[in-house]
Structure 1
Amino acid sequence: MNKIIFNQDYPKWLFWALTAAFALLHAACKKDSLDGAPVITNVRNYAASPADTLVNSITTGQWVVLIGHNLKDAVQISFNGIPATINSIMFSDTSATVLVPDIIPFPSVPAESLNTISYVTKHGTTTFSFAIVAPPPTISSISNENAHEGDSVYISGLNLFFINEITFAGTPITEYTSASNGTSIGFVLPALSHSGPVEISTKSGTVFTTFNVNDPVTGVLCDFDNINTLSWGTGTDNSSVNFPGNRGYYAVLNNDILPAGDGNWWNWQRSINTNDVQWIPQDSLAVPVDQYAIKFEISVPAAWTGTSVYVVKGNSFDYMARYEPWQGSDGTISPFTTKGWRTVTIPLSMFRTNDGKGAAAENLTTLLGSSANGSVNIHTRNFSASPSASGLHAAIDNIRVVKIQ
């Protein structure tokens, strides 16, 4: 055993004082190590092995793992100055799993914030330089796929900036307004000579629709003019006074305020019911359900709230798709109107059981049958336990099923 020998020149109390001081210093250093400012050393792809590799750049909407030290207790993580949504369950002292924001307004990001990851905890802040690149553009919707010359058209999506070229049905769009965050482009439609896709080319890439716009034929099941398969339920009109911007005849849905639970869709002007039509080619039944959508144009001149529009195939109500634009995804209610005509796109994957709120069909055969043939029925109903907040006065035209992927 080693012996501790005190020099008689130094009292024992001094030894114990020095020992205590060293212990406090050691504890302080250890605490600084545990509770110090965050440090990021690298970024890893968030994926199962072996795809969870270190990366040299990241893009919007990408899940990543930040590697470093002191990463617990994060209060804010920003990419190019845009805060991300954080989840404390996905953090440890040495790693943080986070989703890069879907929307980063690259053109307006200050130079000092470009290609930076800012990490803030309760104990400090760090800024890590890292390449954050704008991905190719995407298109999520087009306000009116069958607009007239002179109509305002809006394209919605992501990363719609740094634009090189836009074409609409093959016609160049040379004058447009782009949202600063890259989520929309607006323009006045020029004269069109034929049908075609929408194509947008940017510095980051190119996107084009798999379907055509200004297309009066492809997938059309009923247009109330040249392809008029309307059987019963409501009448048609071609007045440009009642519904300006129309393309010939259209069907009219009309009801007053509906009592609670009113589902009397068979009453006059409460439904559009066609003869049997071919929804999709029979040899396309094997493709995934979400690759097709039913579309139509709608015009709603007066505020609409509460009445639900839903679509079913044939006389079976096993699956239905509800269209309720007055209801937000967060449950909020806002009266809905359109300025002229608007294209409605309902992927066939949105046809669900349990009054449109249950499970989607596993495949197209389950949804459409082995022949994919049957009537298109668009009905109105009040699903609520209270009277509808308003009536509905709307026009519907150009009912079609097209491939969207």
Structure 2
Amino acid sequence: MYATHTAINPLEFNNMKIKNIKWTLMVVLATASIGFTSCEDEPDKYETTTATPSINYIRPVDVASKDSLLTSASMSSTICLVGNNLRSIKELVFNDQKAVLNTSYITDNTLIVTVPKTIPSTVSDKIYVITTKNDTIPYDFKVIVPAPTISSMSNEWAAANETVTITGDYFLDYSNYPLSIKVGDDYTLPKTAIQSITKTGITFTMPSDVPTGKNFYITTKYGTTKAAFQYKDKRGMLFDFDTPWDGVNVLGNHGWHSQKIQHDDTSLSGNYLMLGDADMTKDGAWNDGNFSFEYWAGTWNHTFDADGPKLNDVGDFSDWQNKSIKFEMYIPSSNPWCAAPMQVIFAGTDKVTLPTANNTFFHSGDGWGRALYMPWNNDNLSYDTGGKWVTVTIPLSDFNKDWDGNAAKKSFSSVEDFASLTIFVTTGSYDSKTVTPTGKDCHPIIKIDNIRVVPNK
């Protein structure tokens, strides 16, 4: 038997040899490349050192500002440390807060880092440089923390020995630099009156000797801030429900209804206005007899005299864009408010005066702006003040809603738009439509005192 042999073309044979040689060469080169790579230095590889680092100065990261030297920086700002042997730094601690280091931004001579955003518990005004040899080197540098911000006080008309809370932010109390509260220039709240301090709230017992009509000042290590509010503030007082009109103050009902103005054991300061103590449906149906208070300027004989002055002659409504209406409110937990907005409506004599007023001017369809106050619109559809008086603040810039809750078409243009005031707890609607939320059936009692207009700052 003879074996069968396939003839090979010499040209194909040569091509096969060339391909094998090429493949062998590629494998050799690849292997050599790996060897070369492992032997060569990687130019971008970060390597720590053990040399002692030094910081010459700190500057902004912005190249345009690189000649500016920094001795302090705000939380969360990014800065650049300039010095020597900075790759031997393994940690940076600002006061007592550790920063996050990114080796992509570290060279021997520069280190870019973001100042920690957490407020320090202990302030030393230093950066602590921790080296790879675990040495600690301090460097003087301040982290700028904001001065306190003051938002509100739970009851600006709190009685002596009442517990109140001031809310805001950056209320920082250190053992070596305690927080302090002043009222006016000369009165400091006793430390013993303060019950607790958190970053956003200060709770204290109101002393009996706090001066009235004075602003609060809160001081921390990082500055002093003046509150917009005053204790027992009488600025811009429109209704204290105690003082008859005497050229300065206004008392009470002056419209279609005569709501209860009374005093009892719950009184804040003498008489108060009461709305409600009547059933309210979940859709806040019209019930002006129990839920509407009016002060409409003028008198029944078409004049403006001592019987019915315009409110803008009583309070200062100049710069109204930067003012708020305030009042104290009391809602017992036994009778929570669960439906309908409190519609707070200022209007000029072009819209309403006592002899010509009727109960349609504020929902006539012209889109006159008012505030809709609905603290009950929460997960529980219920609001009460726990049997305490609280201060309500509504900026006049929020008077931008129409009767039905939609955006108003018109708003204030001059102080003359503040002649009269209507407060009506009801849900408005045009053509049986409203964007105001539906609440729950309830029997609310809403007590109001000290209605005033004051500056926001």
SS at match of 1:231: coil
Structure 1 110/389 Cα, relative in aligned 2: closer, same or farther at 3 Å? farther
Cα distance per residue 1:177-212 (max 9 Å; x no partner)? 342324324223323454221222333222223453
* Residue aligning to 2:289: 268
Once the two structures are TM-superposed, the CA of residue 398 in structure 1 deviates from its matched residue by: 0.8
Q: Tell me if 1:278 matches 2:278.
A: no
In structure 1, C-alpha distance between the alignment counterparts of 2:267 and 2:397, rounded to whole Å: 30
Once the two structures are TM-superposed, the CA of residue 301 in structure 1 deviates from its matched residue by: 0.8
* Residue aligning to 1:240: 264
Q: Tell me if 1:252 matches 2:252.
A: no
Q: Tell me if 1:358 matches 2:407.
A: yes
In structure 1, C-alpha distance between the alignment counterparts of 2:211 and 2:95, rounded to whole Å: 44
* Residue aligning to 2:213: 195
Once the two structures are TM-superposed, the CA of residue 140 in structure 1 deviates from its matched residue by: 0.6
In structure 2, C-alpha distance between the alignment counterparts of 1:231 and 1:27, rounded to whole Å: 90
Conserved 8 A contact 1:44-1:64: no
Once the two structures are TM-superposed, the CA of residue 235 in structure 1 deviates from its matched residue by: 1.9
Conserved 8 A contact 1:320-1:356: no
* Residue aligning to 2:328: 297
TM-score by length of 2: 0.59
Q: How many residues align?
A: 339
Structure 1 391/21 Cα, relative in aligned 2: closer, same or farther at 3 Å? farther
In structure 1, C-alpha distance between the alignment counterparts of 2:252 and 2:210, rounded to whole Å: 27
The letter of the residue matching 2:253 is: L
Structure 1 264/368 Cα, relative in aligned 2: closer, same or farther at 3 Å? farther
Conserved 8 A contact 1:152-1:189: no
- Once the two structures are superposed, the pairs formed by residues 158-173 of structure 1 within 5 Å of their partners are 158-161=169-172, 162-167=178-183, 171-173=187-189
- Once the two structures are superposed, the pairs formed by residues 91-106 of structure 1 within 5 Å of their partners are 106=120
In structure 2, C-alpha distance between the alignment counterparts of 1:318 and 1:99, rounded to whole Å: 49
Conserved 8 A contact 2:156-2:231: yes
The letter of the residue matching 1:176 is: I
Larger radius of gyration: 2
- Once the two structures are superposed, the pairs formed by residues 190-229 of structure 1 within 5 Å of their partners are 190-192=208-210, 194-216=212-234, 218-226=235-243, 227-229=250-252
Identity %: 21
Structure 1 282/300 Cα, relative in aligned 2: closer, same or farther at 3 Å? closer
In structure 2, C-alpha distance between the alignment counterparts of 1:263 and 1:26, rounded to whole Å: 84
The letter of the residue matching 1:188 is: M
Structure 1 unmatched ranges of 5 or more: 1-10, 34-40, 69-77, 84-92, 117-127
TM-score by length of 1: 0.66
Conserved 8 A contact 2:337-2:376: yes
Cα distance per residue 1:103-137 (max 9 Å; x no partner)? x554xx26799979xxxxxxxxxxx9974233222
Q: Tell me if 1:392 matches 2:444.
A: yes
* Residue aligning to 1:57: 72
- Once the two structures are superposed, the pairs formed by residues 9-88 of structure 1 within 5 Å of their partners are 14-22=28-36, 56-59=71-74, 64=77
Once the two structures are TM-superposed, the CA of residue 367 in structure 1 deviates from its matched residue by: 1.4
Once the two structures are TM-superposed, the CA of residue 231 in structure 1 deviates from its matched residue by: 1.7
Q: Tell me if 1:326 matches 2:340.
A: no
In structure 1, C-alpha distance between the alignment counterparts of 2:216 and 2:164, rounded to whole Å: 12
Once the two structures are TM-superposed, the CA of residue 299 in structure 1 deviates from its matched residue by: 0.3
Structure with the higher strand share, 1 or 2: 1
Cα distance per residue 1:145-191 (max 9 Å; x no partner)? 12222222221112223313422696431021342324324223323
In structure 2, C-alpha distance between the alignment counterparts of 1:80 and 1:378, rounded to whole Å: 53
Structure 1 386/214 Cα, relative in aligned 2: closer, same or farther at 3 Å? closer
Conserved 8 A contact 1:165-1:202: no
Structure 2 unmatched ranges of 5 or more: 1-23, 47-56, 82-93, 106-111, 129-138, 173-177, 244-249, 298-309, 348-360, 428-434
In structure 2, C-alpha distance between the alignment counterparts of 1:176 and 1:356, rounded to whole Å: 41
In structure 2, C-alpha distance between the alignment counterparts of 1:334 and 1:45, rounded to whole Å: 52
* Residue aligning to 1:230: 253
